[in-house]
C-alpha cells in the first residue's frame, strides 16, 4: 500500500528548482547554505479526486510558485550579501576593458580619417 502511495506522489505535479553558484574564491559559503541547492514544491490541488479542476490546479500552482519565489529569494539574498562587493571588481574590469577597446577603435578611426 505504501508503495502505491509513493508512486502516486511521484506523479503528482510539482515545481522543481535547482541552482549551483560559483562565487569568487575569496568568498566563503554562508552558514548552513551550500552553493548547490534543489527544492521541490508540490502543487496542492486540494482535491480528493484523481483529476482536479483547472481552477484547483492553477490555484495550487500559484501557491507553489509563491513558495518557490520566497525560498529561492531568501537563498539568493544570503548569497548576494555574502559575495558583497566581490563581484563589483569583475564589473569594473569588464568596463575598463570595453573602454580601452573603444579608445583603440577611436584611434584607428582617427588614423583612417587622417589617411584620406
The per-residue b/e assignment along 1-23, b for 16 or more CB within 10 angstroms, e otherwise, is eeeeeeeeeeeeeebeeeeebee
Residue 92 binned pLDDT confidence (cut-offs 50, 70, 90): low
Residue 81 binned pLDDT confidence (cut-offs 50, 70, 90): confident
Highest mean pLDDT among 71-75, 86-90, 109-113: 71-75
Does residue 74 carry a pLDDT above 60?
A: yes
Higher confidence at residue 37 or residue 86?
37
How many whole angstroms separate alpha carbon 44 and alpha carbon 46? 6
pTM: 0.56
Amino acid at each position: 500500500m505504501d508503495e502505491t502511495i509513493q508512486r502516486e506522489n511521484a506523479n503528482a505535479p510539482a515545481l522543481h528548482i535547482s541552482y549551483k553558484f560559483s562565487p569568487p574564491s575569496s568568498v566563503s559559503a554562508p552558514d548552513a547554505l551550500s552553493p548547490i541547492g534543489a527544492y521541490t514544491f508540490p502543487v496542492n490541488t486540494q482535491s480528493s479526486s484523481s483529476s482536479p479542476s483547472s481552477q484547483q490546479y492553477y490555484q495550487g500552482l500559484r501557491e507553489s510558485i509563491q513558495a518557490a519565489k520566497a525560498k529561492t529569494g531568501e537563498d539568493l539574498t544570503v548569497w548576494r550579501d555574502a559575495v558583497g562587493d566581490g563581484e563589483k571588481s569583475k564589473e569594473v574590469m569588464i568596463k575598463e576593458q570595453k573602454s580601452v577597446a573603444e579608445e583603440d577603435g577611436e584611434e584607428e578611426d582617427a588614423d583612417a580619417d587622417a589617411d584620406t
